[in-house]
Chains A and B, each alone.
Chain A
């Protein structure tokens, strides 16, 4: 079974069709998706701006995400869950959309970048995180995250226009 056939099957499920055509549930889920985006990417952005030395230069890097991390994950989870639901209702259309593929690619790259940061230089944040100027690897991770999330938002919005 090809991926396209699988996504066509998924998109054709009665619950997926009902969800896609519902007058209130679909807009509600889309709204939660955007609010989840604002919360999670907003908090990620603040960390990125600290890493590249734009905001909060006097606060330790570890403190900037610190206790905000769980709110970031909660927002991210609501964005991810609603995103999965939105995908199901237009699975084949999304699969065929070049902008959606670009969005998923950059989402994946954002994840790889965050994972690489957390498992290497991010582990030693207590050593370098107090200085206003961060090491090159940390600045690189901050810029990479900014670029990836910007691309995710750009291609995500573009996908929604394309599917209309």
Chain B
């Protein structure tokens, strides 16, 4: 099944048409998208560095993860909402952009990982060294993959 009809439909939504018609909406939404990135990546970095034993060490990782969770969820909500708006403004352009698809693969991987293995490992009081190291590295790789591919969209 091709997603092309969905992208065609998404592109023609009233909100996308409105964003395209204005000079300022797209940049304004993109700036909020960038704020969401910082808000999401900051807490994720704190947890990942903790998992790798390179950051906060005196605290149990489960405590740190729980304490920064509101930041992660707020950042993720902002990113997904503004991301959907940006996509509605240029759905067809994205459909034809390979970097966009890499970004979506990384994002799907990151969300899946975050809501499963990452959650299990960071909710355990004393995760094994090897599993916390792998979890920290994978999380960093997936989220930076999302950010990297996202930036490349603009260059292709």
A residues near B, CB below 8 A?
27, 30-31, 34-35, 37-39, 41-46, 49, 54-59, 63-64, 66-68, 71, 149-150, 153-154, 157-158, 161
Judged by a CB distance under 8 angstroms, whether B13 is at the interface is no
CB within 8 Å for A158 and B67 given contacts A34-B147, A42-B45, A71-B55: no
Task: Tell which of A31, A34, A56 touches B67, judged by Cβ atoms closer than 8 Å.
Answer: A56
Smallest CB-CB A-B distances: 3 pairs: A42-B42, A42-B41, A27-B155
Contacts across chains A and B counted by CB atoms under 8 Å: 97
Which of the 9-residue segments B27-35, B101-109, B115-123 touches chain A? Answer: B27-35
Flag B47-89 by CB within 8 Å of A: 1 or 0 each.
Answer: 0010000111111000110011011000000000000000000
- Does A153 lie within 8 Å of B49, measured CB to CB? no
B50 CB to closest chain A CB (Å) equals: 9
CA distance A118 to B99 in the complex (A): 41
User: Which chain A residues lie closer than 8 Å to B43 at the CB level?
Assistant: 42, 46, 55
- Does B38 lie within 8 Å of A42, measured CB to CB? yes
- Does A157 lie within 8 Å of B31, measured CB to CB? yes
- Does B151 lie within 8 Å of A68, measured CB to CB? no
User: Which chain A residues lie closer than 8 Å to B45 at the CB level?
Assistant: 39, 42-43, 46, 68, 71
Judged by a CB distance under 8 angstroms, whether B4 is at the interface is no
- Does A34 lie within 8 Å of B151, measured CB to CB? yes
B42 CB to closest chain A CB (Å) equals: 3
Task: Tell which of A37, A38, A68 touches B46, judged by Cβ atoms closer than 8 Å.
Answer: A68
- Does A56 lie within 8 Å of B55, measured CB to CB? no
User: Which chain A residues lie closer than 8 Å to B59 at the CB level?
Assistant: 59, 63
CB within 8 Å for A46 and B151 given contacts A41-B42, A154-B31: no
CB within 8 Å for A45 and B27 given contacts A58-B67, A59-B59, A67-B56: no
CB within 8 Å for A153 and B68 given contacts A39-B41, A66-B56: no
- Does A31 lie within 8 Å of B42, measured CB to CB? no
A34 CB to closest chain B CB (Å) equals: 6
